[in-house]
Chains A and B, each alone.
Chain A
Amino acid sequence: MLIEFEIVEKAKNGDDGAFNQVVQAYRKRILGTIARLIGKPEDVEDVGQEVFLRLYYSLDQLRAAEVFEPWLYRLTVNAAYDYLRRQKRRHEHRMSDLSEQQVVMADATAGGKQKAEEDRRTKVREMVQSLLGKVSEEDRILLMMKEVEGLSLKELEKIYKVNENALKVRLFRARQRVLKAFESQE
């Protein structure tokens, strides 16, 4: 936990100051997770605000402060999923946008070595986003939470409220699909 249970309890009971503290403690981590899940830097803050807005209006339903983190991750996963679904519906999910934005970022970076490093990171981000495009939004998020965020199956079980075996099967299939796409790109 990045914050004391007592503060979560206060926020749960409607203390706006305590809620502010909760947001300040978790926003960096949550924004990072969202950035890795959705792959669009320009929309990360919007999705992050949606997560904390949902948190504010659902915090009174939290059973106990001890389950706060899985609860927050669940809200994050749901908001990222909603975002990806909206993007898919609007046909806006174009990798070229991301590349363009990152090229601008890379150009702004001073120095050849830094630029080379930023180019390498851009390539990695594009490659992973392209591979994740081979699986559904649900599997993409699940795979990211496990492989990139480093959450254990037990933690995922709490977030998804699905039993461990079902998660294992789903993860295995999603990973196999991504692996197949990865090997065909190599």
Chain B
Amino acid sequence: MERMNGGGNDKLDALFAQYREACPDREASTNFMPQLWGQIEARRSGVSSSWFRLWAQVWLVATLALAIVIGGILIPRFENPPAYQASYVDVLTAADSVNDAAVLPTGETE
């Protein structure tokens, strides 16, 4: 793009050049590298502990789900076998009717 304001632009270029010279590249302090590695290590352990936390949560949820399935569905099914579903009176009545059928021969009337 063409620069329209020649004089102003030249002065601004000169100012930027002076700024570059007034802010030279600088050496890092002696703590720079130890602090950098400290931050790298802190983030690294933070990442691994957050992975551990995530895994622990996944296992906890899985364990709870399994406990609900076992407690709510499987245990009641095994606790009530069909043989004991009828009441004591029903069982006696059923037994009596079988006995009556055995005593009275088929086709005989009283």
Quote the shortest CB–CB distance from A80 to chain B (angstroms).
Answer: 13
Q: Which of B19-76 contact A (CB under 8 A)?
A: 19-29, 32-33, 35-36, 39-40, 43
Besides A57-B43, A125-B19, 7 other CB < 8 A contacts?
Answer: A23-B36, A31-B27, A35-B23, A49-B35, A53-B43, A147-B16, A168-B1
Cα of A36 to Cα of B26 in the assembled complex, Å: 11
Tell me how far the C-beta of A25 lies from the nearest C-beta in chain B, rounded to whole angstroms: 12
A-B contact pairs, 27 of them (CB 8 A): A20-B33, A27-B28, A28-B27, A29-B25, A32-B23, A32-B24, A32-B25, A35-B26, A36-B19, A36-B20, A36-B23, A44-B26, A45-B29, A49-B39, A52-B36, A121-B22, A125-B23, A128-B19, A148-B16, A169-B1, A171-B1, A175-B12, A179-B5, A179-B9, A179-B12, A182-B12, A182-B15
CA distance A157 to B43 in the complex (A): 32
Q: Which residues of B contact A48 (CB under 8 A)?
A: 28, 32
Q: In whole angstroms, how far apart are the Cα atoms of A122 and B21 in the complex?
A: 11
Whether A27 lies near B16 (C-beta < 8 A) is no
Q: For B8, give its contact among A28, A57, A179 (CB under 8 Å).
A: A179
SS class, residues of chain B in contact with chain A: helix
- Count of B interface residues, CB-CB < 8 Å: 28
Query: Does A116 count as interface, using CB distance less than 8 angstroms?
Result: no
A148 to B39, CA, bound (A): 30
Contact mask for chain A residues 17-56; partner B; CB cutoff 8 A; 1 contact, 0 none: 0001001100111011101100000001100110011001
Shortest Cβ distance from B12 into chain A, in angstroms? Answer: 5
The CA-CA distance from A178 to B8 in the complex, in Å, is 10
Which of chain A's residues 42-79 have a Cβ closer than 8 Å to chain B? 44-45, 48-49, 52-53, 56-57
Residue in B closest to A50 when the chains form the complex, CB atoms: B39
**Bound complex: CA A56 to CA B40 (Å):** 8
